[in-house]
């Protein structure tokens, strides 16, 4: 229905005439509904990058440090980064105002390099210059720019002469900073996936036992590995070996390599630079050499240091002396051909840490057709800092021999032989001897995905939880999944009454799809049938 009207002076005749005119107009068609813009696809969550994937698959990586510019011009810096990338560097690492002198911000430089070159970057973050707000803001920006690694360090102290003008902050130490960075990641938090945090390890510390304890604390606070001070002495190599034995395979260690280029340079580092020790024999070798000869010797010394460090390192952290990019190109080429060509194969891989992070307990009884596959799947875990406890529960088949044979090949495996007591008794026996801070159970007729324990450990680290659990699938004898039995869990965190409710109502009951904090079993054991 259409209603027409008018103001003062309008008569029925006016309205009739208007009606006639409107009726003569063509009928308007209804307008098509406006098209809704297509919903933008939610970007995939990036959990790692090429550098991390290479590191985790046992390939030795090369990270190169190139100090950021002292002024606002990045032209020469970007060219140097391009050359290092072309030479084979896996990662560019940028110091954060070294010796407390202002340079272009390491994080901004990292973002520019990553954006323009597509190169993986590791900006250093010191505790010296930023409070919590500044730190959080910077981390969110780094994540948005695709930067997935940072190095958390305390930072060099401000020189005494400048302390009236430049003030320290130190709201964090490096351990607390690592913990804070890890806490920002997770479902419903500021970052959908974690930023991997590395720290510093001083191989030249006077009291290296204290340094190792601090390194272990850093790992517990969320760090994934370390970049070390330069290896320029036999003692540094020995300390690196000790670090590998103490920290285990979970700590990714990049051995520091700093080319000495002259005797004057060597003497200065030995006497004036904290955290560096140069053997006297190396210092003497540079006596009387000109620049060209000094570089040649420095290159040779660096290659020899890398070879000595290689059995205990996951890669190398190269420090560019005096921005001599050409020297680093040659060093990278030598390392690629002489040191890093093969995957890491350590004899130490079979040497268990005295206190592994994880104890995996496997009760064994009448499973000789499945046991080897179970053991192999555990040894293939991307999370490597574990002990495997095989509790042979009086099995009458070939299982006892299979357990002993596996232990003879890998020293991380421990075997307990006992009279048959049942599943609960076997699990309890494993708990009684377990040394890990975390506990996992695997049934001996099962096998697990390579990333299972790494995924669960990341979950408890990012949430602070005492227990994490994952999906599982039942498979037939041929290994084909039975989809109807596949369990799908949503990513959720439960606490208090919610935990109790879901533990009884909807959470999956088996022991073998979980990672438990050791404290859970402090006063708890599985009920045994007498």
pLDDT for 191-203, tens place per residue? 988 899 999 999 9
Helix pair 174-183, 132-144: axis angle to 10 deg: 50
Q: What is the mean pLDDT of residues 471-487?
A: 66
Which of 306, 325, 344 delimits the end of a domain? 344
| 514: alpha, beta or left? (left if phi > 0; alpha if psi -120 to 50) | beta
Which of 344, 368, 397 delimits the end of a domain? 344
Does one domain contain both 307 and 405?
no
Does one domain contain both 155 and 254?
yes
C-alpha span between 78 and 84 (Å, rounded) = 10
Helix pair 234-247, 208-220: axis angle to 10 deg: 40
Q: What is the mean pLDDT of residues 434-459?
A: 91
> Cα-flanking dihedrals φ and ψ of residue 18, to 5°?
-65, -40
The verdict on residue 2 lying in a domain is no
pLDDT for 250-300, tens place per residue? 899 999 999 999 999 999 999 988 889 999 999 999 999 999 999 999 999
| 84: alpha, beta or left? (left if phi > 0; alpha if psi -120 to 50) | alpha
The verdict on residue 500 lying in a domain is yes
| H/E element, 375 | helix 371-379
For residue 442, give its domain range: 352-521
Q: Which of residues 395 and 479 earns the better pLDDT score?
A: 395
Check residue 481 and give its pLDDT: 67
Check residue 351 and give its pLDDT: 45
Helix pair 132-144, 106-117: axis angle to 10 deg: 10
Look at the chain and report how many structural domains it folds into.
2
Does one domain contain both 286 and 359?
no
Instruction: Output the 3-class SS for 329-363.
Output: HHHHHHHHHHCCCCCCCCHHHHCCCCCCCEEEEEE
Does one domain contain both 207 and 228?
yes
> Cα-flanking dihedrals φ and ψ of residue 71, to 5°?
-125, -165
Q: Is the pLDDT of residue 33 over 60?
A: no
Confidence tier at 3 by pLDDT (50, 70, 90): low
Does one domain contain both 222 and 361?
no
Q: Is the pLDDT of residue 348 over 80?
A: no
C-alpha span between 453 and 248 (Å, rounded) = 16
Q: Smallest Cα–Cα separation from 132: which of 171, 105, 106?
A: 171
Confidence tier at 350 by pLDDT (50, 70, 90): very low
The verdict on residue 68 lying in a domain is yes
* pLDDT-above-90 percentage for the chain: 57
Check residue 491 and give its pLDDT: 57
Those residues whose C-beta lies under 8 Å from the C-beta of residue 480, and which sit 6 or more positions away, are: none
Q: Which of residues 475 and 215 earns the better pLDDT score?
A: 215
The verdict on residue 25 lying in a domain is no
The verdict on residue 310 lying in a domain is yes
Please answer whether residues 434 and 362 qualify as being in contact, where contact means their C-beta atoms are separated by less than 8 angstroms: no
pLDDT for 84-112, tens place per residue? 999 999 999 999 988 778 899 999 999 99
Does one domain contain both 251 and 320?
yes
Does one domain contain both 322 and 376?
no
Check residue 43 and give its pLDDT: 47
Check residue 311 and give its pLDDT: 93
Please answer whether residues 111 and 139 qualify as being in contact, where contact means their C-beta atoms are separated by less than 8 angstroms: no
pLDDT for 400-420, tens place per residue? 999 999 988 888 899 999 999
Q: What is the mean pLDDT of residues 372-383?
A: 91
* pLDDT-above-70 percentage for the chain: 84
Measured at the alpha carbon of residue 472, what is the angle toward residues 466 and 478, in degrees to the nearest 5?
Answer: 150
Highest mean pLDDT among 329-333, 380-384, 435-439, 467-471: 329-333
pLDDT for 294-317, tens place per residue? 999 999 999 999 999 999 999 999
Does one domain contain both 200 and 231?
yes
Check residue 48 and give its pLDDT: 60
CATH for 436: 3.90.550.10
| 482: alpha, beta or left? (left if phi > 0; alpha if psi -120 to 50) | beta
The verdict on residue 27 lying in a domain is no
> Cα-flanking dihedrals φ and ψ of residue 489, to 5°?
-110, 140
Please answer whether residues 147 and 121 qualify as being in contact, where contact means their C-beta atoms are separated by less than 8 angstroms: yes
Which of 282, 313, 344 delimits the end of a domain? 344
Helix (H, G, I), strand (E, B) or coil at 317: strand
Does one domain contain both 418 and 322?
no
Check residue 453 and give its pLDDT: 92
* Cα Rg of the chain (Å, integer): 31
Mean pLDDT of the chain: 85
Does one domain contain both 190 and 242?
yes
Q: b/e map of 195-209 (b: 16 or more CB within 10 Å)? A: bbbbbbbbbbbeebe
Q: In what order do the strands lie in the sheet with 358-364?
A: 413-418, 386-393, 358-364, 438-441, 514-517, 467-469
Q: Is the pLDDT of residue 168 over 70?
A: yes
Check residue 486 and give its pLDDT: 45
Does one domain contain both 225 and 328?
yes
Check residue 347 and give its pLDDT: 41
| 255: alpha, beta or left? (left if phi > 0; alpha if psi -120 to 50) | beta
């Amino acid at each position: 229905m259409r209603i027409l009207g008018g103001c003062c002076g309008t008569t029925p005749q006016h309205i009739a005439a208007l009606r006639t005119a409107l009726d003569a107009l063509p009928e308007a068609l209804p307008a098509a509904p406006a098209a809704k813009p297509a919903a933008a696809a939610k970007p995939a969550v990036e959990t790692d990058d090429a550098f991390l994937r290479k590191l985790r698959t046992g390939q030795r990586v090369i990270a190169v440090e190139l100090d950021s510019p002292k002024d606002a011009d990045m032209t020469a810096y970007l060219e140097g980064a391009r050359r290092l990338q072309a030479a084979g560097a896996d990662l560019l690492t940028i110091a954060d105002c070294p010796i407390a002198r202002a340079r272009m911000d390491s994080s901004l430089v990292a973002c520019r390099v990553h954006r323009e070159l597509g190169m993986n970057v590791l900006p250093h973050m010191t505790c010296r210059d930023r409070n919590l707000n500044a730190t959080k803001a910077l981390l969110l920006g780094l994540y948005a720019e695709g930067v997935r690694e940072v190095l958390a360090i305390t930072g060099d102290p401000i020189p005494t002469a400048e302390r009236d003008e430049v003030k320290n902050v130190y709201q964090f130490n490096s351990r607390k900073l690592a913990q804070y960075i890890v806490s920002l990641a997770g479902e419903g938090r500021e970052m959908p996936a974690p930023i991997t945090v590395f720290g510093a390890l001083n191989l030249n510390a006077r009291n290296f036992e204290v340094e190792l304890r601090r390194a272990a604390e850093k790992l517990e606070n969320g760090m994934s590995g370390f970049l070390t001070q330069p290896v320029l002495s036999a003692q540094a190599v020995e300390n690196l070996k000790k670090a590998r034995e103490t920290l285990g395979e979970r700590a990714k260690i990049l051995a520091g390599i700093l080319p000495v280029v002259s005797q004057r340079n060597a003497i200065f580092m030995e006497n004036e630079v904290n955290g560096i020790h140069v053997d006297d024999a190396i210092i003497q070798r540079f006596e009387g050499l000109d620049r060209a000869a000094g570089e040649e010797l420095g290159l040779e010394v660096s290659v020899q240091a890398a070879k000595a460090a290689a059995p205990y390192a996951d890669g190398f952290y190269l420090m560019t002396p005096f921005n001599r990019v050409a020297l680093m190109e040659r060093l990278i080429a030598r390392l690629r051909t002489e040191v890093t060509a093969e995957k890491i194969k350590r004899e130490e891989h079979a040497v268990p840490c005295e206190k592994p992070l994880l104890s995996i307990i496997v009760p064994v009884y009448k499973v000789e057709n499945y046991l080897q596959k179970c053991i192999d799947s555990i040894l293939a875990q991307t999370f490597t800092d574990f002990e495997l406890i095989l509790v042979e529960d009086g099995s009458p088949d070939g299982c006892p021999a299979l357990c002993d044979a596996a232990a003879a090949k890998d020293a991380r495996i421990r075997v307990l032989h006992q009279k048959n007591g049942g599943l609960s008794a076997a699990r309890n026996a494993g708990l009684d001897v377990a040394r890990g801070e975390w506990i996992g159970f695997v049934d001996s007729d099962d096998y697990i995905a390579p990333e299972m324990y790494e995924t669960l450990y990341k979950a408890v680290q990012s949430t602070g939880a005492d227990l994490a659990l994952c999906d599982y699938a039942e498979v037939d004898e041929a290994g084909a999944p039975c989809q109807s039995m596949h369990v799908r869990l949503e990513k959720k965190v439960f606490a208090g009454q919610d935990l109790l409710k879901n533990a009884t109502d909807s959470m999956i009951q088996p022991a073998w799809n979980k990672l438990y904090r050791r404290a859970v079993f402090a006063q708890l054991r599985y009920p045994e049938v007498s």
